Structure 1
Amino acid sequence: MAEPARLVILHEGDNPTLGYFGVSIESMYAQLSVLRVDISRNPEDFQLAWGDVVVIMRYLNNAWYRKLQKCKPCLAGLIYFMDDDLLDSSAMVGLPINYVRKLKQKALRYRGWIKRYCSGLWVGANMLAEKYADLEPKLLNPSPPTFYLTRSKPVYVAYHGSTSHRDEIIWLYDVMAPVLKYGSNIYMEIFGDSYVSRLYRDLPHVSVIQAMSWPNYFAYTSSRRVDLFLVPLISKSFNRGRSYTKFFDSARLGAAGLYSCVAPYKDFVDNKKDGLLLSNEKQLWVDAILSLSENSGQREYLANNCKLRAASLIKKSYSDNILRQKNAS
């Protein structure tokens, strides 16, 4: 068998097992360089080298199975790691059917091959070490990076558009994708149906909320805190007939509002005072959201002025209505 030269960790996406046990696995070969490889990658695009130690983290697929079978003679080690009981179908009784199907497809079906060809079994729980004692497993303890224990203050971003805003929802995806990639403390909520859920499901920190009646929406937004309220509007005939009601939603949410610099907001919002006006250039929105996410003082300034102006407008409207009633009588 070759001498260990490099540690290759095969994992499926960015997942809790990688987060909590990745460092523990790497520490087993602390002297080696480490390469983490997502099994969604085409294995033909990746070259396993002489002396690689490969750790399969929970899951495998047919493409990588064939790759490992072919390259096994050149490997310095082939290890299977699990932090759940993935090699015994009886342990899966009572689990949701779809989850069991996933475990069988990506782990259990390879049980015989794992026991025969893997040079080591590593586990993440005492019970697993005891149950599979005949395979002489090594017990690893979770060892997450230190930043897993730190808490950054979250910044909540909201878009509350109805189904009539399908164009804006699609447009906003290209804005929020880089925002959520670089703003690790940014969380987004967006109203939408199953289409919106499918569109945004791969973005981190996104909650898609089903549409609700006006009384429920009013109650929800009256008790909800939002930092940034997004009001993009694609310039088209139907949108030009809208009013500036989202300004009041922003005030009620206590948020700093970001508005497209088109009617009705172009001539209503006092730019950089009670809201931010932006042309519909996606990078401008990305930069503005990221900048405001790091500047709580600027957010509070815009939000406070928005609330003051909204209150002033409501007071004036009430006074005007009283005056009209008096004149009418």
Structure 2
Amino acid sequence: MQSLRDAIYGLIPKPRHSATSLGGIRAPAKRLLILSRYPNPSVSYYLDERVRALADIPVILKGLDDSLDDVDCQGLFVVICRYIKGPQLRWLEHRQKSLAGIAYFIDDDIPAVIAGDEASWPYKFRLLNFAIRPLPRLNRRLTHLWASTEHLADTLANSGHKVDILAPMPSRLAPRSAEIEDETTASLKMVYHATGIHRREHEFLMPIVSSAMDKHKNLHFEVFADGSIARRWRRQDIDPGRMTIRPQLPWSSYLARTADHGADIALAPLLAGRTNDSRADTKRIDISRMGAAAIFSRCATFTRCAVAGEIHIGNTPEEWLMAIDQLAEGRDRRIAARDATLQSIEKMRQNATLAFPGVRFVGLDDMA
């Protein structure tokens, strides 16, 4: 079965910019157009802060179903965030000579998601329809290709094609109120927030969480899950009164919820695999927004911005149970882990740049 998946992975088109689209020196961009599904985490993690740094440069945000007929194409630089639909692609094709450039930004190994066995078929169909099907036409127009991580860039790179890194650039997060320091109740909230694409991580955590909940009667567990994954969580030997299974939320609702409802302990496992190996460490941002103490898998993804005081462990049940014990029983350890991950967000900012790689804007050439 794996050999079949590998073959499918190799057959799926990948983004490439063509030699013809790279020719010539382009004038600085006068304005920026971002095409994306709104709202979504890719825009929040990677684009919002960079857009804010553009000062007086006009920025236009368009959803996938929005018309572009009212957009001035002269000197316009276009960023396509993961997806594009036919009408917008045709608009770009007809106006390419007037544009300052077209960049495609990708933060997932989408062929790996499609060839893998974790994503749902409706999600795979959406990826095929809006991320893969346009590529043969889109690749002929691309002047820039941006990936979220070095590993993902390596999967896209080939002879003569440069892939730039557009690393996560989170907003500065203010420390949450000192809820841990002032804790007067023994109750602790432990969370695992992930989509159905992380089925293996859900399955890995189920017996671990069940054992931890049995040992630590003061824990309440919250997990986001739908469908068969939610049903499997309900079948675990966990007191239903101490476990909350929430359906997946739209991105804007998730942002609001994690900002308003904190957590004490956040679980962030990441198992080895083609899809996970290309991921960035943006889960840190969500965890810091909640003010939680995190447990991370020891892997290249989370090593990237690791700081002293964080908890990074191997993917064995024994190590995860021991780490949960430390946080459930140690208030000072929770404070240290929480504060360390907040520091790692600042490290993430320092490791990135506000620039859009390879793009010059009128009056902002120093950002190029």
TM-score (normalised: structure 2): 0.45
Q: Which has the higher contact order (CA 8 A, sep 6+)?
A: 2
The structure richer in helix per residue is 1
The alignment's TM-score, normalised by the length of structure 1, stands at 0.50
Which of these two proteins has the greater Rg computed from alpha carbons? 1
